[in-house]
Structure 1
């Protein structure tokens, strides 16, 4: 394992969630790789979504909570540029071996990744208030 891989694993920390002999490879990847990265990158995701809504969704702050939740989901599912930027924030913290695993099943893992990220942002809806300063 090279220096970068060791650094990334130490930076991300421990597995989040249970992994057992019965776990699927996608579930193991999710708990050993994706969850720790999502947790580590949380503040960056919050800042990124705040920037997204300030640029593209000026009416976001006046929306109902239900509409705000739908906006989060739509932004990540339908705005390909934004989605790809978020994916890059995650994939950039993969080790080389994790990346090789990821590309074998990227479609399924992308769905998991984005679904987890949507739920993470939705659960922190209170952080998306009109007092975000981009300066």
Structure 2
């Protein structure tokens, strides 16, 4: 393992969630790699989404909470350019070995990544509502 890989694993922190011998490889990857990266990058994701809504969703702050939640989901699911930028923020913190595992099932892992990221942003919706008073 090279210096970069060691640094990344130490920097990201420990596994979040349970990994057992019965866990699927995708579930193990999710808990050992994706969850720690999403937690580490949380502030960046929030800043990124705040920038996204200021550029593309100027009416965001005037919408109901339900519509705001829908905007979060739709922005990440349907705006391919934004989605790819978010994936890059995550994949950039993979070790080389983790990237090798990722490319074997990138489709399934991308779905997991984006689902977890959507839920993470939705659960912090109050951070996006605070901005409306500024």
TM-score normalised per structure 1: 0.96
- Matched with 1:4 is 4
Aligned residues: 132
- Matched with 1:78 is 78
Deviations 1:46-79 (A, max 9, x none): 0000000000000000000000000000000000
Greater than 2 Å deviation, 4+ residue runs = 129-132
- Matched with 2:119 is 119
Q: What is the CA–CA distance in structure 2 between the aligned matches of 1:18 and 1:125, rounded to whole Å?
A: 27
Q: What is the CA–CA distance in structure 1 between the aligned matches of 2:81 and 2:47, rounded to whole Å?
A: 16
Q: What is the CA–CA distance in structure 2 between the aligned matches of 1:131 and 1:73, rounded to whole Å?
A: 19
TM-score normalised per structure 2: 0.97
Q: What is the CA–CA distance in structure 2 between the aligned matches of 1:130 and 1:109, rounded to whole Å?
A: 32
Do 1:61 and 1:130's aligned partners in 2 also have CA atoms closer than 8 Å? no
What root-mean-square deviation, in Å, do the aligned CA atoms of Structure 1 and Structure 2 show? Answer: 0.9
Q: What is the CA–CA distance in structure 1 between the aligned matches of 2:26 and 2:68, rounded to whole Å?
A: 30
Task: Tell me the CA shift for residue 16 of structure 1.
Answer: 0.0
Deviations 1:66-112 (A, max 9, x none): 00000000000000000000000000000000000000000000000
Q: What is the CA–CA distance in structure 2 between the aligned matches of 1:125 and 1:70, rounded to whole Å?
A: 11
Unaligned runs of 5+ in 1: none
- Matched with 2:13 is 13
Unaligned runs of 5+ in 2: none
- Matched with 2:50 is 50
Task: Tell me the CA shift for residue 130 of structure 1.
Answer: 5.9
Task: Tell me the CA shift for residue 129 of structure 1.
Answer: 3.0
Secondary structure, aligned partner of 2:129: coil
- Matched with 1:108 is 108
